[in-house]
Amino acid sequence: MIVFFIVMAVILIVLACLSIKIVRQSEVYIIERLGKFHKIADAGLTIIIPFVDQVRSIVSLKQQTMDVPPQDVITKDNVTITIDTVVFYRILEPAKAVYEIQSLKNGIQYLSVTTIRDIVGKMDLDSTFTSRDAINDKLRAILDEATDRWGCKIDRVEIQNITPPPDIRDAMEKQMNAERNKRASILQAEGERQAAVLKAQGEKEAEILQAEADKEAKIRRAAGEAEAIRKVAEAKAEEVKLVYGAMMKANPDEKLVQLKSLEALKDVANGEANKVFIPFEATSALSAIGAATEMLNDKKEEVVKNNK
C-alpha cells in the first residue's frame, strides 16, 4: 500500500513538472495542442496539459543583432568591394516568426545580401563611401517591408566596413595625399599673400604717418619762425620807441629825429629777421629826408664851383 502511494506521488510530481511552465521576462512560449498552434504564453506562470500540449518554440522579444558575413559587391563602375553589415531587428508577432518562415535569421541574412548587391550595384565607388547613411536607410526600408509578413521589425541597418581592393586603396591613398598637399600649398600661398598685403598696408600707413609728421613739423617750424620774426620786430620797435622818447626829451629838431630813425631801421635790418616792415607813415619822412639830402649835395657842389 505504501508503495502505491509512493508511486502515485511520483507520478503527480512528474505531471506537475510537465504541466507548470515559468516563462521569463522578454520571452514568450509558442504552445501547440496536438500539433496545432494553441496559444502564446507570456512571461509568468503557465499551465499546460501534459502529453497534449507542448512548447513548440521559445521566442525572445528583445532587440537582436545579426552580423551579416562580408559580401563581395560589384559597383556601377565595375569595382569589387567587400561590405560588412549588421542588422538590428525585433520580433513583434512570435507566431508568424515561427510558422511563416523556417529560419528567420537565415531569411534576414539572405535578404540583406541580395538587397545590398542591388543597391550598391547602382552606385559608383565614390558614392558608396560618401552615401553610407543613404545606403543604410534604403536597406532598412527594404528589409523592413520584406520581413513584415514574418512578424519582424527591422530597427536599424549599419554598414560596418567598406573595403576596396588593394590597388584601389593605394590609388585612393595617393589621391588623398595629393589633395592634402594641394590644400597645404593653397593655404601656404594664401598665408604669404595675406602677409604681403599686410606688409604693404603697414608700409603705406607708415609713409602716411611720416608725411603727416613732416607736414606738422614744417607747420610748427614756420609758425616758430613767424613768431620769432614778430618778436624781433616788436623788440626793435620798442628800441626805436625808447630812442625816440629819449630824443624827444632832448628837444631835437625834425631832421635829427629822422636821421636817428633811419639808424634804428638799419639796426633792425641787420638783425636775425630777414624782412623789415616799414609803416606807410614812415615813407613820407624818408622821402623828405631824401629830398633834403639831395638839396645839401647840390649846395655843396655850387660852393665848390664858386671857390674855383
Number of domains in the chain: 3
Distance from C-alpha of 224 to C-alpha of 218, rounded to nearest angstrom: 10
Q: Are residues 286 and 248 in the same domain?
A: yes
Residue 153 bridge partners (DSSP) = 90
- The residue out of 13, 32, 60 marking a domain boundary is 60
- What phi and psi, each to the nearest 5 degrees, are found at residue 67? -90, 110
Higher pLDDT, 254 or 169: 169
Q: What is the dihedral of CA 254, 259, 261, 267, to 10 degrees?
A: -170
* N- to C-terminal Cα separation, the chain: 206
CA distances from 80 to 62, 83, 125 (A): 36, 10, 9
Whether 55 is in a domain gets the answer yes
Checking if the pLDDT of 245 tops 80, the result is no
Confidence band for 10, pLDDT divided at 50, 70 and 90: confident
Domain assignment of residue 126, given as a range: 64-164
Whether 139 is in a domain gets the answer yes
Q: Are residues 238 and 296 in the same domain?
A: yes
Residue 17, number of CB atoms within 10 A of its CB = 10
Higher pLDDT, 175 or 40: 40
- Cβ-count burial 47-82 (b if 16+ within 10 Å, e if not): ebeeeebbebeebeeeebeeebeebebebeeebebe
Q: Are residues 41 and 70 in the same domain?
A: no
Q: Are residues 40 and 109 in the same domain?
A: no
pLDDT tens sequence across 150-189? 999 999 999 988 888 887 777 777 777 788 888 888 888 8
Whether 280 is in a domain gets the answer yes
| Residue 15 confidence (pLDDT) | 78
Q: Are residues 104 and 13 in the same domain?
A: no
Q: Are residues 55 and 69 in the same domain?
A: no
Q: Are 41 and 20 in contact (CB under 8 A)?
A: no
Higher pLDDT, 191 or 242: 191
Whether 75 is in a domain gets the answer yes
Q: Are 139 and 156 in contact (CB under 8 A)?
A: no
Q: Are residues 127 and 40 in the same domain?
A: no
Q: Give me the residue label for grid cell 499551465.
A: 47
Whether 276 is in a domain gets the answer yes
Question: In the predicted model, what is the mean pLDDT of residues 270-294?
Answer: 51
Whether 201 is in a domain gets the answer no
Structure-block grid coordinates of residue 277: 616792415
Whether 187 is in a domain gets the answer no
| Residue 217 confidence (pLDDT) | 85
- The residue out of 164, 184, 214 marking a domain boundary is 164
Q: What is the CATH number of the domain that holds 69?
A: 3.30.479.30
Q: Are residues 78 and 127 in the same domain?
A: yes
Structure-block grid coordinates of residue 263: 639808424
Sorted by sequence, the CB contacts under 8 Å of residue 254 that are 6+ apart come out as: none
Whether 192 is in a domain gets the answer no
Least Cα distance to 122 among 100, 110, 139, 106 occurs for: 139
41, burial (CB in 10 Å: exposed 0-12, middle 13-18, buried 19+): buried
Question: In the predicted model, what is the mean pLDDT of residues 217-237?
Answer: 81
Q: Are residues 48 and 116 in the same domain?
A: no
pTM: 0.54
Residue 20 bridge partners (DSSP) = 47
Confidence band for 77, pLDDT divided at 50, 70 and 90: confident
Q: Are residues 10 and 100 in the same domain?
A: no
Average pLDDT value for the chain? 79
3-state secondary structure of 75: coil
Confidence band for 280, pLDDT divided at 50, 70 and 90: very low
